[in-house]
Chain A
Amino acid sequence: MTTTTASFAYTSTTWPVLDRMAAAHRRSWKMLAAPGEWWTGAERISIAAECRRASARVDGLPDPGPGPAELPEAAVFAIHKLIGDLPNVTRDWYDETISAEGMSDAHYIELLGVVVHIWSVDEFHRALDIDLEPLPEPLAGEPTQIRPTGAKAHGSWPPTVWPDDLDERDADIYGGADRAANVRAAMSLHPDSVRWLTDLFDAHYLSWIEIQAVQEPFRVLTRPQRELVAARVSALNECFY
């Protein structure tokens, strides 16, 4: 099921979802529907749909069905791996995935960007027992296939772009900082995924500026309580980093 407008109105739930969260979720759906650098809008919707199929498989729920566009076999496999078999994601698997037909390192990072952001919004809904938002209708247009010229090997599997190497069109992705956190830089082969990450991170957790600050801006949980939860989620996922 798809929709032409993303509401995220949260009118049918009694949970007091913050406006800044609802607004970020609506922006997420807009980003999802638009063509990216390496995938069309329809393919991005299909990545999101496959993400939901993977989640349903994990949960033993009925298959919600595929999206509007066919995806490369390696892409489908990657989505299911990232959702349901994260501890077994390895360097060899990554190398094999980006070498497969219809894939590249840039395709993979954009796919990962769609998967993690849709998964995150859906997980928020599942945790609160709120129905999942229908996926949006794809917007027309072709992928730009613009690859950042400053992308280099910096230790993560995919090449990344450090602040000094940003192209002018992507100068904003680290907020003007001269350093970038590894987790943001990891997505920089697809700059819009860094923008998306920042937007949703700010809404779900704290802005990067707020993290550095002493005051607790708008949260109910204290910092130790949030970090306890964050650490537990990482441990449950067997995430070493």
Chain B
Amino acid sequence: MLLGRSSEGNDALNLNGTVRNEVDSGVEHGEILLRYSDAAVGRTPDLRAARDALDIAMGPDAVVDCAATIANFQRMVRIADGCGIPLDPFSREESAKWRDGLGIDDFRSRGNTFDEN
């Protein structure tokens, strides 16, 4: 649902770009930020190169900011999925418009939010 909230009032962000590499997110330096995020979360050998690329493109302060954002949401997702946080009825209805298109209805944790597991 974070995906949907991210796009509110933010015309620049293409939701499809957050889950599909072939789609431009519409965010400046989005490709480099996603490469670093993928490498950090996925523990890929690309981490150092991805970090260097971000450093060159945006500078060391941006690397730290991005690392902190990644660390923050590595925490938040575990709280959400570890507690089966429910979705309020409004968000449930609103998100139905774009959930399926992004493929997140296929996430197993959907059942935790909707109390189906």
Q: Which residue of B lies closest to A205 (CB)?
A: B72
Interface string of B62-94 (1 = CB under 8 A from A): 111111111111111111111111111000000
Interface string of B51-63 (1 = CB under 8 A from A): 1000000111111
Is A1 close to B, CB under 8 A?
no
Given contacts A236-B38, A240-B107, contact A204 B113 (CB under 8 A): no
For the residues of A in contact with B, the DSSP-based class is helix
Q: Are the C-beta atoms of B81 and A241 separated by less than 8 Å?
A: yes
> Which chain A residues border B25 with CB–CB below 8 Å?
228
Q: Are the C-beta atoms of B77 and A233 separated by less than 8 Å?
A: yes
Q: Are the C-beta atoms of A87 and B109 separated by less than 8 Å?
A: yes
Is A173 close to B, CB under 8 A?
no
Given contacts A123-B70, A240-B110, A241-B85, contact A231 B30 (CB under 8 A): no
Given contacts A205-B72, A231-B2, A239-B107, contact A157 B66 (CB under 8 A): no
Q: How many residues of A contact B (CB 8 A)?
A: 68
Instruction: Say which one of A68-76, A137-145, A218-226 lies at the interface with B.
Output: A218-226
Q: Are the C-beta atoms of B37 and A91 separated by less than 8 Å?
A: no
Q: Which residue of B lies closest to A90 (CB)?
A: B117
Q: Are the C-beta atoms of B1 and A230 separated by less than 8 Å?
A: no
CA distance A117 to B78 in the complex (A): 10
Partner of A228, one of B6, B71, B75, B80: B6
Is A42 close to B, CB under 8 A?
no
Is A132 close to B, CB under 8 A?
no
Partner of A229, one of B70, B81, B86, B107: B70
Q: How many residues of B contact A (CB 8 A)?
A: 70
Instruction: Say which one of A15-23, A31-39, A164-172 lies at the interface with B.
Output: A15-23
Partner of B109, one of A16, A121, A233, A241: A241
> Which chain B residues border A6 with CB–CB below 8 Å?
none
Q: Which residue of A lies closest to B74 (CB)?
A: A123
Is A115 close to B, CB under 8 A?
yes
3 A-B pairs with the lowest CB-CB distances in the bound complex, closest first: A155-B86, A124-B71, A120-B75
Residues on B close to A: CB < 8 A? 1-3, 5-6, 10, 12-13, 15, 17-19, 25, 27-30, 33-34, 36-38, 40-43, 47-48, 51, 58-88, 104, 107-113, 115, 117
Residues on A close to B: CB < 8 A? 14-18, 21, 58-59, 82, 86-92, 94, 109, 112, 115-117, 119-121, 123-124, 126-129, 155-158, 182-183, 186-187, 197, 200-201, 203-205, 219-241
11 contacts between A and B (CB under 8 A): A15-B67, A94-B82, A128-B51, A128-B64, A129-B51, A182-B86, A224-B27, A225-B29, A232-B34, A234-B73, A238-B107
